[in-house]
Structure 1
Amino acid sequence: MFIVIIIAALALWGLIATIVDLRRDGYRRTPTDWSRIPDTGLDPLHRAEVGTTYR
């Protein structure tokens, strides 16, 4: 019975710690700062190199 109480206490502690960390760690949406993204004029698919690699 003692071990069951210890396991339940650890589970409760983990649940509370998870909720607290999610609230502190930026769980909410944040807007994108578009000024930090370089404007190349091309989308990433055009910049990808096409090729075949053999081993």
Structure 2
Amino acid sequence: MILVIALIALFVWSAVATVVELRRDGHRPTPTDWSRLAGRDLSQQAESGHVYR
């Protein structure tokens, strides 16, 4: 019984630690700033790679 209680406590502790670390890691999805990409213009359109003659 003590082993079961220890395993439950370990699970709860690890789940809480995981949530805390995920909130603290600073990794968040951010939108791409297209103006910082080299050689790209905002008005530039995609070009097809196929040439038909």
TM-score by length of 1: 0.53
Identity %: 49
Q: 1:53 corresponds to which residue?
A: none
Please say which structure displays the higher CA radius of gyration.
2
The equivalences for 1:17-32 within 5 A come to 17-32=17-32
Aligned residues: 42
Q: Which has the higher helix share?
A: 1
Unaligned runs of 5+ in 2: 41-45
RMSD of aligned alpha carbons: 2.4
Distance 1:27 1:13 in 2: 22
| Higher relative contact order (CA closer than 8 Å, sequence separation 6+) | 2
Q: 1:12 corresponds to which residue?
A: 12
Tell whether 2:19 aligns with 1:39.
Answer: no
Distance 1:24 1:32 in 2: 22
TM-score by length of 2: 0.55
Cα deviations across residues 19-41 of structure 1 (Å, max 9, x unaligned)?
11111113532233441x4337x
